Amino acid sequence: MKLTRRTVLAQSGALLLPFAASRSFAQSAEFTMKFGSNLPAAHPINIRATEMAANLKSESQGRIDLQIYPNNQLGNDTDMLSQMRIGALDYMTLSPLILGTLVPAAQINGVGFAFKDYTQVWGAMDGGLGTHIRKQIAATGTIFAFDKIWDNGYRHVTNSIRPIVKPEDLKNLKLRTPPGPMWVSMFKAFEASPTPMNFAEVYSALQTKVVDGQENPLAIVSTAKLNEVQKYCSLTGHMWDGYWFMGNKKLFERLPADLQSMMTRHVAASALLQRADVRKLNDGLQTELKAKGMQFNEAPADAFRDKLRSAGFYSDWHKKFGDEAWALLEKYTGKLS
């Protein structure tokens, strides 16, 4: 599928039809499963998940009915993770940094200003670092992650106060972050005021000035229309973030071996397509958001990295993750601490 901003918007309405259609065939399916996401229906994750659900139904000859619930329909990230752990939800996508509240090792990909480019990202996450993280997720005994992580993109800071050009510009800025310890730790090192909250609350919090700003990849800024309530976008690229496509272990193991294999294959194939979608979308959105009035500026990474180093951020997280995981990270990023 050739994905552009226009096709994303065009498909956002059309996505409602597969959601409804999937439910109409639920009674005839041998295995009816639910997938939850915190992102809008127009986001590439939900577009590809819907496409995947249709492909699974077709290839399995109707045995699999994967129902797609975007936009926090099943609750926020924390709610859905709890549901999945007890078997009330089959699958979900979740940022590793939020998963870090349950699996501390999962959030290592979010170490601030670590990955310089996508070559490093995919080398690590499809390689030894990703393998290490998935083992830690599986060690919970209740959930697991499929092999290929889905993309969210490099995260940037937006706010309604001022451009962020150097670390000092973050001082005292009340910044919404997702509810994960890595974000809080990093922005405290920059002397900002991190304010954790679930994504469902972000737009209204920005609109009512409960917080000054937030940080997300451009695809989320656009699909969630955060540009309507934010003036400045500073291209900090302060962390790369993804979405593990995760499942409840017992529910997945109830599938016959052929359907397990089919599901695994389709999740991996869709992940690669979704990665390309997100990168193309993020690359093209700056011009579009500028046209809508958002002001952009560059934020050179070296000064921010130096600030984190001097604040003890890297050395502290090295201790928390341990030598094995940190060595796997630095194998791909180079020396950080």
Global pTM?
0.86
Rounded to an integer, the average pLDDT of 249-265 is 98
Residue 24 has pLDDT above 70, yes or no: no
The pLDDT assigned to 27 comes to 56
CA distance linking residue 278 with residue 259, whole number of Å: 28
Residue 57 has pLDDT above 50, yes or no: yes
What is the domain count for the chain? 1
Looking up residue 108, the CATH number of its domain turns out to be 3.40.190.170
Residue 150 has pLDDT above 50, yes or no: yes
Output DSSP code: residue 238: E
Q: State phi, psi for 194 to the nearest 5 degrees.
A: -65, 135
Distance CA 95, CA 217 (A): 12
| Structural domain range at position 57 | 5-333
- Measured at the CA of 94, the angle between CA 36 and CA 262, to 5 degrees, comes to 65
